[in-house]
Amino acid sequence: MTQFETEIYLRYKQIIESQGVGTSVLAGGASPAPQRVRMEDLLDRYDAFCFDGYGTLYNRGNFVYEGALDWYIMLRTAGKEMRLITNAASDVDSVLASDAAKRGFAFSEAETISSGSLLKDLCTELRYRGVNRRDVHEVYYIGRETGKHVLESCGIKAVAPAAEPVEPIVAISSAKDTPETYEQAVKILRRPGSMLLVLNSDAWAPKIPDENGVTAREPVSGELSERLRRDSMCEANGGAGCETYYLGKPFPSIWEKVKCSLPAGSRVLMVGDTLGTDVLGAKVAGFDSALVVGRNVPADELEADEKALGIRPDYYL
């Protein structure tokens, strides 16, 4: 990981610990060395398998990782509960499920739980939280055009790129900023009482491997959001910066939704490619985790990254 990426995921960990969620797990001693396994080795150990999407099963376009469809078919054939748990906020869950199905992963809408789907609950919480309640009706938005469907499903309007919302609220779903939109977002977030909604907490993501099988990584929405948060600190808000809300993995709300969707008492495994969202999130949920090495965590950086974040998965895939 880059130093900045490490700082972002450590911040996530600190936020979760400050909420008293999963504190005993996150603050525990050294974890045992993860087992190196194949998916078939895990088949009888768990009742439910949760999968990250991008970087674990597939990537942009029609790209599917080698062996991922074999996992899917094996688990479906065995009758296992399966969930797609994604930080993608590029569209509503029905569309995300349909896109996964086009790649061969036929998750139903009910089996698809995205970070964007949590926005409606957050807006309700903000509306009724007491003296500091806020109604979110319009925002300054940076992300894919289809991400506006997530806002619209919550009754939220995205203002024009050169405009400012009445309330100083910025929402980020992907790193689609330009110098002009970034400058405008900072201007809004430096207003007193500003709020930043991070609809996708992923800080870095793997690109599709090149013709030599080499996987490059790139900063995404979580990285953009952290730069905005830091740049929002100014004299007008006493140096505190904007109030920031994160949706998706590793934060608790998405795991509560996952648990409610599964049969009580299920033995659950989370499979993902990122230490700071998938593995950390699984620990918050009380699930075991399996890390797919070599995508968002290069094999030669694995040990250092685990040490930097203080977390390890139960298995390496």
pLDDT at 100 over 90: yes
**Residue where a domain stops, chosen among 246, 275, 300:** 246
Q: Is the pLDDT of residue 243 over 70?
A: yes
Q: Does 106 share its domain with 14?
A: yes
Domain presence at residue 257 = no
Residue 231: CATH number of its domain: 3.40.50.1000
Average pLDDT (128-152) is 89
Same domain membership, residue 121 and residue 111: no
Mean pLDDT of 109-129: 94
Residues 235 and 179 in one domain: yes
pLDDT of residue 129: 73
Q: What is the mean pLDDT of residues 119-130?
A: 88
Q: Is the pTM of this model over 0.75?
A: yes
Q: How confident is the model at residue 305 (pLDDT cuts 50, 70, 90)?
A: very high
My answer on whether 157 and 230 are in the same domain is: yes
Does pLDDT of 181 surpass 90? yes
Write the pLDDT tens digit of every residue in 196-205.
999 999 999 9
Whether residue 102 sits in one domain with residue 16 = yes
Q: What is the mean pLDDT of residues 109-128?
A: 95
Domain extent for 96:
3-115+265-316
Q: Which residue has the tokens 């007008």?
A: 236
Is residue 193 a part of any domain in this protein? yes
pLDDT at 20 (0 to 100): 83
Q: Is residue 19 part of a domain?
A: yes
Q: Are residue 107 and residue 135 in the same domain, yes or no?
A: no
Q: Return mean pLDDT, the chain.
A: 94
Domain match, 284 and 234 both: no
pLDDT at 18 over 80: yes
Q: Are residues 232 and 134 in the same domain?
A: yes
What is the DSSP track for the chain? Answer: --HHHHHHHHHHHHHHHHTTSSHHHHT--PPPPPEE--HHHHTTT-SEEEE--BTTTB-STT-B-TTHHHHHHHHHHTT-EEEEEE---SS-HHHHHHHHHHTT----STTEEESGGGHHHHHHHHHTSSTT-----EEEEES-GGGHHHHHTTT-EEPPTT---SS-EEEESSS---HHHHHHHHHHHTSTT-EEEES----EEEPPP-TTSPPPEEE-HHHHHHHHHHHT--GGGTT---EEEE-STTSHHHHHHHHHHS-TT--EEEEES-IIIIIHHHHHHT-EEEE-TTSSS-GGGHHHHHHHHT---SEE-
pLDDT at 238: 85
Question: Mean pLDDT, to the nearest integer, of 84-104?
Answer: 97
The 10s digit of each residue's pLDDT in 26-59 is: 555 557 889 999 999 999 999 999 999 999 999 9
Is residue 251 included in any domain, yes or no? no
Domain count, the chain: 2
pLDDT over 80 at 219, yes or no: yes
pLDDT of residue 19: 86
Q: Are residues 143 and 26 in the same domain?
A: no
Inside any domain, residue 259: no
Domain co-membership, 165 together with 271: no
Position with higher pLDDT, 217 vs 21: 217
